[in-house]
Chain A
């Protein structure tokens, strides 16, 4: 915590005099992505080059083929996919370059490929075509998938920290900080299944934000918990953002994006519809 507070105070001190750290002048590429991206200032941290992501989705099995070993054998032998298997082309040729100090907001309707894009940048989804180049290992803010509802908060904190790649020493150091930040107090001894949804969200956020990252990807993490906690978490996000080199933020709350980002990418049906200054892009996005 000491380290973070120090950073925070430093950031606060910096703010009025030198907003330049965030306000990196950068070229905003056209959606076509044909132009060069050599930065006049700053170094690129994330390069997304004509990225395509294709998902496989499996529908529910019909009665006719459910759990029948013979059917399964014939299907395997014939090398057939399930008839219900669908391929979803979630991201279709996205190209952009992000620079050190950028805070990039990603907006778009549900299903426009925002979360998929983040996961591809994090290196969690293999590209169908194209490539993502990054400086170091970008991380998604979120450990929800590793936690188990039946476990106590205590065990979940340890499990979540290990899942994010911490060492035992780091886990011991961060443990109390996580408990304090989440504000769940003595509930930490109870299974997470007994938590209210707000408490669960608070603990998850506290765990996932305990680690510092070079390139950070945040997916709708702000809308958690009650008003007090929301303030706390927004502050924590800002803090993380200042210590990270580059931040990507996906949120439906446009106000948050306008406040924290210096560049906004508007995704529409898997393609970049607009990329540039937050005010302009959000104005255009609001218009439809």
Chain B
């Protein structure tokens, strides 16, 4: 379909000499910038419209994740278990970390599984943008779908590992109580925090390529500061004789708060003075981190929405 008319048009066009800037022309015909950040409420609505994609993408990634290893999905449970076994050996038996803790295996396992959920989400979130540049450069969707999908992927895996955790906790001699009904609440709050943290780290990871190298280092420090294999109160105040506020500050870190609350629920002998209820400081910290991280995470990620394709 070649048109001789075009040549005529070219000639005609050459003859005209109005001086309208292109931006004005675009405005007159109601054209919008191809890459414009939608307003925040619109953005959230677009994300909601993409929920099917987010869910399907998360599920697909889960299906393919261990497809090359012989044990497949079992690794999801084996990894935290093996980690817990090493820590039990190192800190529980050799260094005597569990001396003042009545049910140390349950204490350690709860800490390990809860911390792993947040740690994995943060690590995956850091790669969610930088590892999907080809998709971002080919398709249109609210970019927050990617870190969200990665968090949901971890949530799906958590469903399996939570089941294992509960079975193991029962094996250590803790019987289910009505307080177990609070488990989904804690996990919901933790998921809210994880989504927010994933979004923040995704934006950082999109531009700071070195973040992936740094992250193992950061998460390990975080692991040690969260009292996963020792009691913060016992080690920091009783043994190291540091002031109480240091321990309190450590308990206020999101990972430690979620772990503490979960331990209160699962382990009868954990802080028996509170019963199965979390201390006010712990649950308030959990709620604060969940709401703050979710709100801030979306806002922070959205601010850079139009720049993610550059790499």
Contacts and interface: CB of A to CB of B under 8 A. Distances in A.
Say which size band chain B's interface belongs to.
35 or more
A44 B6 contact: no
Interface stretch (B16-24, B89-97, B253-261, B278-286): B16-24
A127 B35 contact: yes
B9 A132 contact: no
Contacts of B60: 148, 151, 155, 159
Interface in B232-273: none
B7 A27 contact: no
Contacts of A167: 52
Given A135-B31, A150-B63, A167-B52, A25 B306 contact: no
A163 B13 CA distance: 41
A22 interface: yes
B15 to A, nearest CB: 10
Contacts of A258: 2
Interface string A73-108: 101100000100000000000010100000100000
Contacts of B210: 72, 75-76, 82
A119 B140 contact: no
B42 interface: no
Interface stretch (B130-138, B164-172, B295-303): B130-138
- Which of A72, A127, A144, A164 has the most CB atoms of chain B within a 10 A radius of its CB? A72
B176 interface: no
A49 interface: yes
B1 interface: yes
B33 to A, nearest CB: 6
Contacts of B53: 159, 162-163, 165
Contact of B310 (A25, A126, A135, A158): A126
A277 interface: yes
B160 interface: no
A261 B217 CA distance: 55
A151 B33 contact: no
A164 B140 CA distance: 7
Interface in A149-206: 150-151, 155, 158-159, 162-165, 167-168
B21 to A, nearest CB: 8
A194 to B, nearest CB: 13
B196 to A, nearest CB: 22
Interface stretch (A1-9, A32-40, A223-231): A32-40
A97 B16 contact: no
B34 A36 contact: no
A10 interface: no
B213 interface: yes
Chain A residues touching B, majority SS: mixed
A244 interface: no
Contacts of A233: none
Interface string B115-132: 000000000000000001
A164 to B, nearest CB: 7
Given A148-B64, A162-B52, A37 B214 contact: no
Nearest to A164: B139
B307 interface: yes
B209 interface: yes
Nearest to A115: B137
Interface residues of A, number: 82
A277 B5 CA distance: 9
B138 A124 contact: yes
A277 B8 CA distance: 10
A131 interface: yes
B63 A151 contact: yes
A36 B16 contact: yes
Contacts of A263: 6
B211 to A, nearest CB: 8
B217 A69 contact: yes
Contact of A36 (B19, B23, B209): B19
B187 to A, nearest CB: 26
A209 interface: no
A284 B31 CA distance: 33
B26 A44 contact: yes
Given A36-B18, A47-B26, A126-B306, A277 B135 contact: no
A38 B35 contact: no
Contact of A123 (B26, B34, B135, B310): B34
B177 interface: no
Nearest to A22: B1
B265 to A, nearest CB: 36
Given A23-B1, A44-B25, A56-B310, A123 B140 contact: yes
Q: Nearest 10 pairs between A and B by C-beta?
A: A27-B13, A123-B34, A133-B26, A162-B53, A145-B135, A133-B31, A150-B64, A49-B22, A132-B34, A25-B9
7 contacts: A44-B29, A120-B35, A127-B35, A162-B52, A165-B50, A165-B53, A259-B1
Given A25-B8, A44-B29, 18 more contacts: A19-B1, A36-B17, A36-B20, A40-B12, A55-B311, A58-B311, A76-B208, A82-B209, A124-B140, A125-B137, A145-B138, A145-B139, A146-B57, A155-B60, A158-B56, A163-B57, A165-B53, A276-B6
Interface of B: 1-10, 12-14, 16-20, 22-23, 25-26, 29-36, 49-50, 52-53, 56-57, 60-61, 63-64, 67, 132, 134-141, 208-210, 213-214, 216-217, 306-307, 309-311
